[in-house]
Chains A and B, each alone.
Chain A
Amino acid sequence: MGNLPLLNNYLSVGAILFALGLIGFLSRRNLIVMFLCAELMLQGVSLTFVGFSTFHGSWGGQVFTIFSLALAGAEAAVALALIVVLFRRNETLDISLWQDLREADQPPVLDEFEAAVADVEPVYPELTRSGLLPGQGREPGHHHRTIDEAIDEQRHEPVEVPHA
């Protein structure tokens, strides 16, 4: 049986690492930093396991830590793949842009920084042009110019085509 104050020391360090990981996970916005903080919490738990393993003279804690190493590898592979996919979609790693994933009846959380970001005019995608020119009502017996015709005319003579 091991040394109790020694176990206390290792468990204290593990607990502090876990709490720091929690603070980072809750407060940082960057997806990658949040994931690093989750790994920090895992490190705190590993330290606790090894401390108990030494205290009880059993391999159990070290075996558990070896399995958690393998799990951390698998987790990193899947999480980094997901981060790459999310980054391709939004071109940013900011977690607060994924508030669409909240529950349907919850209001979005907007603090000062997010409100400033939300004020910026969004860039809308360029859509394929089709259908009638805007501003023309449908009247019977009148030939309505479509967008395609307007573009054809523009090819022959440079006419200003009104955009939507």
Chain B
Amino acid sequence: MGEFELTLSTLIVVVLGGFGVYLLLPRGTNPSDRIARIVGCVLTTISLVLIASNFGDVLPNKTNELTFYILAAVSIVSAVLMIASHNPVISALWFALVLLSNSGLYLLQGAEFLSAATIIIYAGAIIVTFLFVIMLAQPNGAAPYDLHSREPLLSCTAGVILAWTLLGTLHYACNEEAKPLNQRPAGASSAALPSPSLVAKSLAGHPESVIREGKAHVDSLGRTLFLEHYVAIEVVGMLLLVAVVGAVLIVNRDPAKLTAA
């Protein structure tokens, strides 16, 4: 497939998905809304299936491949429903589903600690805090301003252009990378991924950063964190402390009241 056809097919698929999302975004409560939402669902699904058909046969065993497809589909569909739902509580719950399927994808890549941390920190703490604030501010569900999106056509156009740029570059780079070296056009290798030798050279100076098969996962991740990134760990700890103190001070505008109590 030529470069032009590749770029054009990506554009068509992404525009299809973007138009589906445009139809799904909330726009008032008129009766034609339901039909538009159904058409939007169909278009988004077609676009997702077309993108998935580009994925091809990649994982070493079929069970892993099926798991990847299910998790990726759940993640993207929940993300669409999250930006399309009228009620912010339901949006937050769809986002929790995005997080759960993403942590499944991490697990599939062998990032066990990250998968657990995402569930505990994001789904367990951040989403619950969001739900508290939503209950505090908007206990009656959807407000009028939740039913009308702001410039849906323009924002979908922006999203389509971004997705087209990212996905088009990805497909192009992978197509080029799959070809033998002598068939690539001049200068194309710089557009694709960094060369393996470059990455290996940069990793040689940091022996703790190399993932070694067979070593305990959390053990070697901890070594990397505390041997090579210890300054950053301290800085992030400080940042969290400052953020918590700042949040308390922002909400309580009068610090004298805090000390009096």
Contact = CB atoms under 8 A, between A and B. Distances in A.
A123 interface: no
Contacts of B111: 50, 53-54, 62, 65
Contacts, number: 268
A12 B170 contact: yes
B121 interface: yes
A15 B167 contact: yes
Contacts of A18: 162, 166
Nearest to A54: B109
Contacts of B210: 57-59
B90 to A, nearest CB: 10
A95 B134 CA distance: 15
A144 interface: no
Interface of B: 18, 21, 25, 51, 54-59, 68, 72, 75-76, 79-80, 82-83, 88, 91-92, 95, 98-99, 102, 105-106, 109-111, 113-114, 117-118, 121-122, 125-126, 129-130, 133-134, 136-138, 143-146, 148-152, 154-156, 158-160, 162-163, 166-167, 170-171, 174, 177-178, 193, 196, 199, 203, 208-211, 220-221, 224-225, 229, 232, 236, 239-240, 242-244, 246-248, 250-251, 253
A161 interface: no
Interface of A: 1, 3-13, 15-24, 26-30, 32-33, 35-37, 39-40, 43, 46-47, 50-51, 53-54, 56-60, 62-63, 65-67, 69-78, 80-85, 87, 92-96, 111-113, 117
Contacts of A82: 250
A66 B114 contact: yes
A81 B251 contact: yes
The DSSP consensus for interface residues of chain B is: helix
A30 B146 contact: yes
B224 A69 contact: no
Contacts of B106: 47, 50
A83 B167 CA distance: 34
